[in-house]
Amino acid sequence: MLVLALGTLNSCDDSVDTNPLTATDVDASFTITPVEGAMNTYLLTAQTKGVILSKWDTGDGASVGKMNQVISLPDAGTYTITHTAIGAGVATGTASKQIIVEKTDPAKGNLVQGGTFATAADQAKWTNAKLSPSGAAFWSFGANGATIYSPGGWAQEGIYQAIEVVKDREYTVDMTVSCPSGLKETFFEVYAGTSVPKPGVEYKDNLVMGIGTWDGCGLSKFSGRLSGVGCKKNAVTNTVSNVVKFAQSGTIYLLIRSGSNATGNEPITVTKVEFRGK
């Protein structure tokens, strides 16, 4: 069921720009329509006049999307949807609406345990991959998520947990990632493999998604869903995709690992890790 809250906000950049090629009033208005036959799935339709590019934020950071964007909100709750419309000369306008999701979709429950890392119980669900015996690279847990620190020199570390999957069912993987500045010579990779992680052995079983400065992302500060800000290609599809499926039912390992060759990089923080049936 779709419930829209009153009080839609529209705003435009107040800065003065005398460039005649710069738009002075960008309309970011949009509509929300439930997708028939798909629980908790919505079509966001932006008005297109004077709009070159759309960014959408469902509460986890803005990422570039389509002017007709389909979103899924599997869990019950109240969500603020913000559309940033970009016009000529990089002028922007924003508009926000709320969606109230009344029931959680039972078919798309999150199979990850402790995906926010907010409590000791959450953090205990994750196992250290022990890829950095010296401890040069390490994960730190807190209320805002899990943060990976690497001093450079190819120091890396990973965390993982086991998840039970069903043969031939499609799943989506995602998480919120952020870094306050651009990175250099850094990778952040997510795997969903059937092989058991081994201490000191770099995990390479079934890369799903990630960030890599060599691949062209992570070069400036970012905050959003990894499916939106990442650019590493899925090992199976050879495209940027967060969808996985498996030839057999059983245990797989969701593993996140990150490292860097360069010194002076800011750490990457991850939270709201999800692994859901599609």
3-state secondary structure 221-265: CEEEEHHHHCCCCCCCCCCCCCEECCCCCEEEEEEEEEEECCCCC
Q: Is the dihedral of CA 135, 117, 99, 12 positive or negative?
A: negative
pTM strictly above 0.85: no
Indicate the pLDDT class of residue 12, thresholds 50, 70 and 90: very low
How confident is the model over 11-22, as a mean pLDDT? 43
- 113, pLDDT greater than 90: yes
Number of other CB atoms surrounding residue 117 within 10 Å: 25
What span, in angstroms and rounded, lies between the C-alpha atoms of 192 and 96?
35
pLDDT tens-digit series, residues 134-191: 899 999 999 999 999 999 999 999 999 999 999 999 999 999 999 999 999 999 999 9
What span, in angstroms and rounded, lies between the C-alpha atoms of 73 and 99?
9
pLDDT tens-digit series, residues 252-261: 999 999 999 9
pLDDT in the model for residue 22: 56
- 74, pLDDT greater than 60: yes
Number of other CB atoms surrounding residue 231 within 10 Å: 15
How confident is the model over 193-216, as a mean pLDDT? 97
Q: Give the CA distances from residue 70 to residues 45, 56, 175, in Å, rounded to whole numbers and listed in that order.
A: 9, 11, 18
According to the CATH classification, is domain 110-277 in 3.30.410.10? no
Residue-wise DSSP of 126-167: -EE----TT-SSEEEEETTEEEEE--STTEEEEEEEEEEE-T
**Residue 271 and residue 144 in contact, taking contact as beta carbons nearer than 8 Å:** yes
Count how many residues are written for the chain: 278
pLDDT in the model for residue 14: 38
Instruction: Please report, for the chain, the start and end positions of each structural domain, with discontinuous segments joined by +.
Output: 9-105, 110-277
What span, in angstroms and rounded, lies between the C-alpha atoms of 113 and 93?
38
pLDDT in the model for residue 106: 86
Using CB atoms within 10 Å of the CB of residue 7, give its burial: 0 to 12 exposed, 13 to 18 middle, 19+ buried: exposed
Phi-psi region of 135 (alpha: psi -120 to 50; beta: other; left: phi over 0): left
The H-or-E segment that residue 54 falls in is: strand 53-57
- 95, pLDDT greater than 80: yes
Average pLDDT for the chain: 91
**Residue 26 and residue 12 in contact, taking contact as beta carbons nearer than 8 Å:** yes
Q: Is the dihedral of CA 208, 214, 215, 216 positive or negative?
A: positive
Percent of the chain with pLDDT over 70: 91
CATH architecture of 9-105: Sandwich (2.60)
How confident is the model over 35-47, as a mean pLDDT? 95
- 16, pLDDT greater than 80: no
What span, in angstroms and rounded, lies between the C-alpha atoms of 10 and 94?
6
Q: Which of 146, 151, 170 is nearest to 241 (CA)?
A: 170
Q: Which of 212, 202, 118, 120 is nearest to 158 (CA)?
A: 202
- 8, pLDDT greater than 90: no
How confident is the model over 24-30, as a mean pLDDT? 89
Indicate the pLDDT class of residue 90, thresholds 50, 70 and 90: confident
pLDDT in the model for residue 29: 96
How confident is the model over 54-78, as a mean pLDDT? 90
How confident is the model over 33-46, as a mean pLDDT? 95
Indicate the pLDDT class of residue 2, thresholds 50, 70 and 90: low
Angle at 277 between CA 276 and CA 278, to 5 degrees: 110
pLDDT in the model for residue 184: 98
Q: Which of 193, 181, 199, 204 is nearest to 262 (CA)?
A: 181
pLDDT in the model for residue 205: 98
How confident is the model over 230-238, as a mean pLDDT? 97
Q: How distant is the alpha carbon of residue 162 from its chain centre?
A: 20
Indicate the pLDDT class of residue 9, thresholds 50, 70 and 90: very low
pLDDT in the model for residue 157: 98
